[in-house]
Amino acid sequence: MASSEQIKALLQSYIEKDDDRFLSIALQVAAHEARSGHGRIAQELRDIIERAKKAGKQNIPISIAKSIKDSSGLLATSYPKLRLSDLIAPDNLKQQLERLINEQRHMMMLRNHGLSPRRRILLVGPPGAGKTYTASILAGELNYPLFQVRLDALITKFMGESAAKLRQVFDAIRDVRGIYFFDEFDALGSQRSASNDVGEARRILNSFLQMIEQDDSSSVIVCATNHVEMLDHALFRRFDDVIRYELPGENEIVTLFRNKLKPYVAKNFPWKKLPERAQGLSSAEITLASEDAIKDLLIHKYDKITLSILDKAIADRRNINHHLVK
């Protein structure tokens, strides 16, 4: 027989629409029955749980999210399969992400001890450093859908309309478990005292502060910004973690190039010369330079990518970046 604590936990997870937690507790009940010598009951429970898991693969929560996207255009939905091992970044950054992933995977255990897993994080750093990629990795690791909040649809010039749309987003966060990604978050969370601020911008920020404070869902909220200095200071205490991204260091530069180019270069390719050549480029720019070099190889039917071919691709990326920041 399920304990009173298990019954309470089952009811709470049902109310919160947390299917993973509900099924995990049900498995605990089945295990308890097996230990008590009630093998037939335990097996029947396991069979029911297995059927529920198979039904869950139909992704009913995702269909709810799709209807939200279709009616309002606020959420763009995807289902990434990336893993943390795909991210080329310093160990300390990956450890921060791994901690969040582990806490999410042990959500029920933590909650049973009165603790909350990390589920609101702020990613800060230069463009192309891997912030958007990280949101996809979290979705892939946790097997959650990724919902990117479309700020162009969220922020309007009409009084009160943006706050109402933001409420729709937080309703989705509550109703549909997933990774909710607010990119270019400074557009939403800039300082209320900024000289160019307008009343509607203050209302949006105040609404966000209130809604994220009240949010007790099981979804993960990921906000990303290239301009952390623009964010209102009241935002920071609302996040469980702030993760800072930097431009890739020497080891990351070599790894990024090697992962893309290894099949296309000679065995004696001078990898050690690349950090100096690519210094100051973002991870995204290094990836694009690598792809440009591969395209050049294929189009011109070269035997191998040489250092001079790659130098040209890197120079082209620097030139593009120069015009963008000018």
Are 52 and 64 part of one and the same domain? no
Tell me the pLDDT tens digit for each residue of 148-162.
998 877 777 665 777
Query: Among 244, 264, 290, where does a domain finish?
Result: 244
Count of other CB atoms within 10 angstroms of residue 24 = 16
- Tell me: do 91 and 206 sit in the same domain: yes
Q: What are phi and psi of 87, to 5 degrees?
A: -85, 125
Residues 192 and 146 in one domain: yes
Domain with 21, as residue range(s), is 4-56
One-letter-per-residue 3-state SS of 110-128: HHHCCCCCCCEEEEECCCC
| Residue 43 sits in the same domain as residue 72 | no
In this predicted structure, the answer to whether residue 1 has a pLDDT above a threshold of 70 is: no
d(CA 38, CA 172): 41
Question: How many angstroms separate the CA atoms of 282 and 248, rounded?
Answer: 6
* pLDDT (tens digit per residue) in 24-49: 777 777 776 776 777 777 777 777 77
Mean pLDDT across 233-255:
91
Statement to judge: residues 107 and 181 lie in one domain: yes
Domains in the chain: how many in total? 3
**Whether 124 and 239 share a structural domain:** yes
220 and 128 together in one domain: yes
Q: Can you give the pLDDT at residue 325?
A: 52
State how far the alpha carbon of 136 is from the alpha carbons of 83, 172, 253, in Å.
Answer: 8, 18, 21
> What is the pLDDT confidence band of residue 253, given thresholds at 50, 70 and 90?
very high
Instruction: State pLDDT tens for residues 84-140.
Output: 999 999 999 999 999 999 999 999 899 888 999 999 999 999 988 999 999 999 999
Residue 59 has pLDDT above 50, yes or no: no
Domain final residue, candidates 186, 210, 244? 244
CA distance between the termini of the chain: 69
pLDDT of res. 73: 77
More confident residue, 11 or 89: 89
Convert the pLDDT of each residue in 197-214 to its tens digit: 455 667 778 888 889 989
Residues 153 and 219 in one domain: yes
Model pTM above 0.85: no
